[in-house]
Amino acid sequence: MTTFDIIKKLAEKQKMSIVELEEKLGFSRNSLYAWKKSKPSVDKLQAVADYFHVSTDYLLGRTDDPDISKNSVKTADLADDEAIFTFQGRPLSDEDRKIIKRLMNGK
């Protein structure tokens, strides 16, 4: 499924046409249709994600879960060890953190 298909599905859920969505977002006419064959700019993709309250990963088809709170980790809300020990923005397991700490301490 393309980014355009995902956006079209989200718009249909809200009983909105693509043209109406473009108007609400201040996009030029047919700009979203162009996403069928080309990649969107980051700022426009983020504007659509913000409008529908979904992650950009969902719009890009990288996850099936539209819930933005499940797709992002805010390090400010994490304990010190988790904020330091992350991989791809997600906290490591307790076991992985223990192994890394042992390696860092030369044990």
Domain limits of the chain? Answer: 3-70, 75-104
Q: Is 88 helix (H, G, I), strand (E, B) or coil?
A: coil
pLDDT the model gives residue 78: 46
Residue 98 or residue 41, greater confidence: 41
Q: Mean pLDDT throughout 12-21?
A: 94
pLDDT of 82 above 70: no
pLDDT the model gives residue 33: 93
**C-alpha to C-alpha distances, 67 to 13, 16, 62, 70, 71, nearest whole angstrom:** 15, 20, 13, 6, 7
pLDDT the model gives residue 86: 66
pLDDT the model gives residue 100: 81
pLDDT of 70 above 70: no
Model-level pTM?
Answer: 0.63
Cα separation, 99 vs 103, whole angstroms: 6
Extract the tokens encoding 97. 């953190």
Cα separation, 106 vs 87, whole angstroms: 21
Superfamily of domain 3-70 in CATH is: lambda repressor-like DNA-binding domains (1.10.260.40)
Buried b (16+ CB within 10 A) or exposed e, 79-93: eeebeebeeeeebbe
